[in-house]
Chain A
Amino acid sequence: KAGVTQTPRYLIKTRGQQVTLSCSPISGHRSVSWYQQTPGQGLQFLFEYFSETQRNKGNFPGRFSGRQFSNSRSEMNVSTLELGDSALYLCASSSSSAFSYEQYFGPGTRLTVT
């Protein structure tokens, strides 16, 4: 069974631009969550999608948005990029809406904002 895939793996953008990251969950998984990882703040929850609906959201500004498609693939968009958005963005998929199921993470997208 293929794991969680994320594209692109690396990205360099300029301040003020916008960026879209993609995540394909494990086949059959309907829940996709996004996380931001930085050296200072560690791993922080951005949002979760389940069956094309945002089910939960972390404490990030509205510049961070996402969506999920009918095939469970998810995209995350960051508009008006700031230097502080440089981070490793990780997505995770889970097999159920129940809380007890494991989260499986992708390799991440390394975003550098210059």
Chain B
Amino acid sequence: KQEVTQIPAALSVPEGENLVLNCSFTDSAIYNLQWFRQDPGKGLTSLLLIQSSQREQTSGRLNASLDKSSGRSTLYIAASQPGDSATYLCAVYSGGSNYKLTFGKGTLLTVNP
């Protein structure tokens, strides 16, 4: 059974700081990994999708890496801004014949002005 863990559960940083969010998964036989952002009471916004054959993806100030063999992914946020404050969720597609998206519990990020 796939399990996804995100560390830390919460993070508070001053504006301008670079930061790293961590995601680990127990079954390395994944198809892809996706990072999402969720604002309070809202739906999920897709940030980055990394295919199983890829090592990293970049979008603006965001960079996500994937090490499938060790079951780890990181989301790097450069020059953080107050508008980056949200919950960040990591999810993996896996499961063989019973494939599904399995989510971590998320990291609550607060960027202080």
A residues neighboring B (CB under 8 Å): 4, 33, 35, 42-45, 48, 56, 58, 88, 90, 92, 99-100, 102-108, 110
Contacts and interface: CB of A to CB of B under 8 A. Distances in A.
Interface string B21-43: 00000000001101010000111
Contacts, number: 54
18 contacts: A33-B100, A35-B103, A42-B103, A44-B103, A45-B101, A45-B102, A48-B100, A56-B100, A88-B41, A99-B93, A100-B31, A100-B49, A100-B51, A102-B46, A102-B49, A103-B46, A107-B43, A108-B43
B41 A99 contact: no
A106 B43 contact: yes
A42 B101 CA distance: 13
B44 A102 contact: no
A42 B93 CA distance: 16
A92 to B, nearest CB: 8
Secondary structure at the B interface, as helix, strand, loop or mixed, is strand
A91 B51 CA distance: 22
Contacts of B34: 102-103
A43 B32 contact: no
B32 A100 contact: yes
Given A103-B91, A107-B43, 10 more contacts: A33-B101, A45-B102, A56-B98, A90-B43, A102-B46, A103-B34, A103-B46, A104-B46, A105-B45, A110-B41
